[in-house]
Structure 1
Amino acid sequence: MEASHVAEIETLFQAVTSGDFTFRISDDHPLSNSANHMMQWLDQMQLKELKDKVELTMTGFENTINMAKLQQLADGVAQRTETMASATEEMSITVQMIAEQADKVGCQSEQAKIAVDEGSQSMKQVFDVIHATTQQMDNVTDEVQQLASVSKEIDSLLTTIQKISDQTNLLALNATIEAARAGDAGRGFAVVAGEVKQLSHQTKDAADNIVEKSISIQKSVAAVVARLSEMSETVTNASSIVETTQTSMDTIVYNMQQVDESVHGMHHATKEQAIASTEIAEGVTQCHADAKVMDTQANQSLNTTDKMDVSLRADLQEFSELKITNAVIQLAKSDHMFWKKRLMDMILGRGSIDINEVTDHHSCRLGKWYYSNGQAEFGNCASFKSIESPHTDMHRLAKQAVSKFNAGDIAGATQDVDAITPLSAAVVKGLEELEQ
């Protein structure tokens, strides 16, 4: 074997020792060919192991990210169910208060219904009394009217008596005159005439007195009639008011019955609601307990993957120090997954990221390769070109998410991290197509 071949083989072994599995001997010596085959095999084996590591990393971290989301959801469920439990307890107390209030309202409604019934009965009695009073007033009015008629008849009789008295007085006067002419023979007649005259005067005085009293009676009767007319009108108005009030009372009675039925229905509903609230409270409490268990389990799983993260990072760091064909594609895939996990840990409060740690799309491992060796090797490939846009957007969103999170905008940061997932998938898809 020539010294030059020996030197080439020594260089090859030095390359293997330094971790360069891309080194090949340039001459066509059989031993060189065997050595190159060996190096190619080692290169493929290292690449396969790297792929396996990366696939394990990606699969494991995808599961970790899903578990992280599950833990986030479980924590959210636990918080919400805790709030719900408190709200449900308050609701149960409120329902109980409503049920108790419904009982009180039911009692008050029943008492009010009784009072309204009694009031309705009283109004009916008042109406009956007013109706009877109206009839009595009509009877009294008729009697007074008859009294007025009799009084008028008395007036007519008194007028006749006054006429007779005047005539009697005139006759007595004539008799006295005639008795005086008769002398002694007419003295006895004169005495009788005098008595008749005196009786006539007394009758006239009595008739005048009766006339005065009759006039007074007629005035009183007229006043009584007028007063009775006013009273009758008042009673009629009172009767109308009582009728209206009675109608209102009947409406109130009907409404009170409706209220009573509603209160009983509400009471029944609140009883059922109280039972349902208790069941809900028990269910929410169980959900809260389950969510806490799920949260604990997810957190334990994340702690385990954190340890795996350290180990995988160390392994991949060792591979990054080796020279393996297309190793940068595999390492770029793992870099994406590591960053996705870091961002998810940040959202969950399991880690922090300084804004200066987030480089632009030119400075990461993939970016450095993409705009140098990758451009030279795959520049005309469609899959290669498809990587640039989502890769650029990924870095922009990652920087934006970290900035928002550090500023306290957790919701905005979460939204940006979620938007990275399809972009990361597009980048990984393009890299996998380049491998083929």
Structure 2
Amino acid sequence: MNFKDLDIRKKIYVAFAVLLIVSAILIYIFITLQLNSIKTVELSKTKQDLTVSLNNTLNAKKNTWLTNALQIAFNESVIHALDVKDREKMVTILQHYGKIFKENTGFKNVAIHIIDSDLNSFVKSWKSSSHGESLNYSEAYKEVKNSKKPLVTMEESSKGLRLKGLFPILKDGRFLGIANFEGGLNSIKRTLKPSDIEFLYFMDGRYLDIAKKMKTKPNFSNYYLSQKDADKEFLDYVLKEIDLEKAQPNGIFDKKYFTIALPVKDFSEETLGFYILGKKSDLVTETITSSAKIIYKVVGIFLVILLVFVGCVLLIINIYVAGPLGAVIDSMKQFAQGEGDLTQRITATSKDDLGRLGRWFNAFVQKIGLIIADVINNAQILAVSSTELSGVSEQMAFDADETSSKANNVAVFTEEMSRNMESVTTTMEQASLNVNQVAAATEEMTATVNEISSNTAKASSITSQAVSEARSASEKINKLGVSAKDISKVTDTIKDISDQTNLLALNATIEAARAGEAGKGFAVVASEIKSLASQTSEATVDIRQKIEGIQSATDQTVDEIKRVTDIITDIDELVTNIASAVEEQSATTSEISDNINQVSSGFKEVNENVTQASSVAANMAEEVTLVNHSSTLTLNNSHHVVNSAEDLNALAKNIARSMGKFKVNDERFYAAPIKLSHSVWKKKLSDLLTGQFQLDPSQIMDHHTCDFGLWYFGEGQKKYGQINTFMAIDELHEKVHSSAREIAQMVKDSKIEDAKDLFVKFKEYTDQLFTLLDELEKELNSSMQ
């Protein structure tokens, strides 16, 4: 059986059982943490005690070493012997000092070493025969020589690490050498032993070139034991068990010892080795064991008190809570089985929490009745609104379909017009070619007439011949006159044709400007132009033949006139008349040529206009295609809106059916009213863009002051301010209102296209807001189930 299916009494028992188990676990954790804390504190205190004990002992020894070195350095006999380089006297003095220290102090292995001004060994108390070796490897000796000040420091030597008390030996301010009072740290081991502290110190293996004898000493991690007096048990433990890296920061604590490692440093803070300090574990844990006993005793008492308390609480709950609560449950069961009868009430006479629960529940049931009535009413309103929205959407879909159909018709018409314009262009190009041919023929005719004029001028110089031949010449000249008359008729014909061609060219220009269906009329004009051009060509051929006859007759006349010089005057008069006529013909031919050139220019201009019209028609076809695509998208979107409206209507009906079963919860969040109110603004803005609705920007409220904004920044913020989905709504809600105001302002400023572009974004913001509202509704309502 699941915990949630248990009655309240069993749940309380289970809860207290869990409480006891959790309390036991927490107590165990508390004890463990507390003991670990005590252990950490105790180990830290022990480490501090070990460190302080070593430092105090070491500092005391340093002070002693420095004091002893001072006494030696200020001894007049020592100063004199060093000044005069008297080694024998210096040996005697140092042996005396050594005897005194051994007999009167605990320092049994002290050594006194006198170093000269060149830092060479002068006298050693422990080996007086050895002297003269250079000690320049010692940085401490160099420091004392340079500073002429005393110094006490640990330093490597041939015997390993030694504590040296160095004091400069001066005479009248002149540096004579150094008094070195040095020794090992065995006495520190003896000093710390009464405090149960084990002590070892090791030298770094990198100084083995100075302390060569140390190579045989016990070592670990390349560190060599630098003392003679060492506790064997602790030394074996250190050599076998200690990890130097772990021992340095906080120490090592195991079953045998608590061990720490401290660096051995010289006066320049360079590490020469390590001090190893240890204390047996059982001595360290005495305080920890004592503290643990106290903690266990306190916890035991607490557990007994807790058990007694829990028993009393369970007894009280069983008598004063579980029993009355069962009575309330029975009353509520009867209410639940009343088939939705909201007139039933729970009997609540007591003044305790259960009594107040019954009274508040009765008040709650009363409000539920009111809420159900309101929800059913709102569901009906929602159903009506969704139906209206569906109708508007269907109308929009119909309009979009109509637009798409008309756009298809326009596209077909535009393509047909484009093909007609291409046909007109081809016809105009052919007409232009024919006119160019006419112009070429006219130019040839002009050249021929000019040649006739030249020949006629020559005839004026022909002399008169015999009277008998004058008659014959007169007849031939008459024939020439007849031919000239024929030429005049032909030129008249050409002039008429030119006039008509000019008129037709003007008509062709007018028809080309109209384009469209008028292009068919232009084809007729072009055909007339072609016919007139043919007639002009035939007339031109006729002129050429007549002129050839005139030339033949003129040649014969010239031969006869040469024989009849007496009648030259008459012939000259006739020739003059012929020249005058030829000049008139030449002027007429030139005019025809000019007119034909103008016709050709007109055809070129017409052809260019037709080409431009064809390009415009092609562009128009592309734009119509885009319009058709947009209409299709609008139609699809309209269908989506219709589907959404139908879904909304179905949702309203489902809500009405749910409310009919009285399954309501006044704490639930509903997104539908918010979405409906903002959808209304979407419709208003759409009508505003099409001119069907008037709206001032000031009429659009700020996102803080609309109904949803007042709830969002008030009650909603208090309840759901920590939910990410709720917080994300603020930015989108602000964008919806601000973009709506901007659209209204753009329409007011006649920036319709900009407003339409922003309206697309407004719809995107609205859709995103609605999505977030749906997610919030789902998240909040699912958490209440």
Q: Which TM-score applies when normalising by structure 1? A: 0.45
Structure whose residues are more often strand by fraction: 2
Q: Which TM-score applies when normalising by structure 2? A: 0.28
